[in-house]
Amino acid sequence: MVSVRIYIEGGGDSKDLQSRCREGFRKLIEKTGFEGRMPSTVACGGRNNAYDMFKIALRSADVNEFPMLLVDSEEPVTMAPWDHLKSRDGWDRPAGAEDDQAQMMVTCMETWIMADRGALRKVFGVHLRESALFPVEGLERRSRQDLLAALKNATEDCGRGKGYDKGRRSFQILSELDPEMLKENLSYFRRFSETLDRYLRQIG
């Protein structure tokens, strides 16, 4: 039996936000088809901390443990995951790390959120301006700055404190996402799901 633990960029330094981050990812992963064979998740705050915690876990992992890193790519990806992280962040591929252990939200979590218009309508209601959002096609080629700005623009009529923002609001939407929509439109979410399935299929 393989034990998978995902070290996730997100949640900042707040225990409350880290809890919300874990819960949002837990609900999304469960809906992706892993109920009964769930990985454990660790909200690590900043991306460098996620990388450091992943490296520590990798060094101490035994043959039945599979630590996984999940971070924003920050930029569109044009090379293999570890090569991208080396080029962008200066992170060396840890000794013994497999390709599948480097997973990315390309270019950021807002890409996943924008890919599911149904979840956005459910959370933001009639004040959501869908015309301000980018087309679903090609979302992984959009910059993180443009994605965040578009989500804020699309929800600015929702009222004070009710529009899109990173943190509590983003993790709320994360838990509402339909993984089938993400798998259909986002190749790196599909890769993440397929990797989990490969290592978790022995559980349960």
DSSP the chain: --EEEEEESB-TT-HHHHHHHHHHHHHHHIIIIITTSPPEEEE-BSHHHHHHHHHHHHHH--TTEEEEEEEE-SS---S-HHHHHHHHH-PPPPTT--GGGEEEESS-HHHHHHT-HHHHHHHHGGG--GGGSPPSTTGGGS-HHHHHHHHHHHTGGG-TTTS--TTHHHHHHHHH--HHHHHHH-HHHHHHHHHHHHHHTT--
Q: What is the distance, to the nearest Å, from the Cα of residue 184 to the centroid of all Cα atoms in its chain?
A: 16
Kindly tell me the burial class for residue 3, based on how many C-beta atoms sit within 10 Å of its own C-beta (0-12, 13-18, 19 or more): middle
pLDDT for 160: 83
Q: What is the distance, to the nearest Å, from the Cα of residue 177 to the centroid of all Cα atoms in its chain?
A: 11
- pLDDT tens-digit map of 66-114: 999 999 999 999 999 999 999 999 999 999 999 999 999 999 999 999 9
Higher pLDDT, 6 or 200: 6
| One-letter amino acid of 109 | M
Closest Cα to residue 143, out of 42, 53, 73, 56? Answer: 73
pLDDT for 202: 59
Which tokens is 7 given? 């070290």
Look over the chain and give the mean of its residue pLDDT values, rounded to a whole number.
95
Closest Cα to residue 181, out of 126, 118, 103? Answer: 118
Higher pLDDT, 60 or 160: 60
pLDDT for 204: 43
Q: How confident is the model at residue 2 (pLDDT cuts 50, 70, 90)?
A: confident
Which tokens is 127 given? 């004040």
pLDDT for 39: 97
The lowest-confidence range among 44-53, 118-127, 137-146, 161-170 is 161-170
What is the residue extent of each domain of the chain?
3-106+186-200, 111-170
- pLDDT tens-digit map of 3-30: 999 999 999 888 999 999 999 999 999 9
How many Å apart are CA 125 and CA 123, to the nearest integer?
6
Kindly list the distances between the CA atom of residue 143 and the CA atoms of 50, 75, 183, in Å, as whole numbers in the listed order. Answer: 21, 6, 20
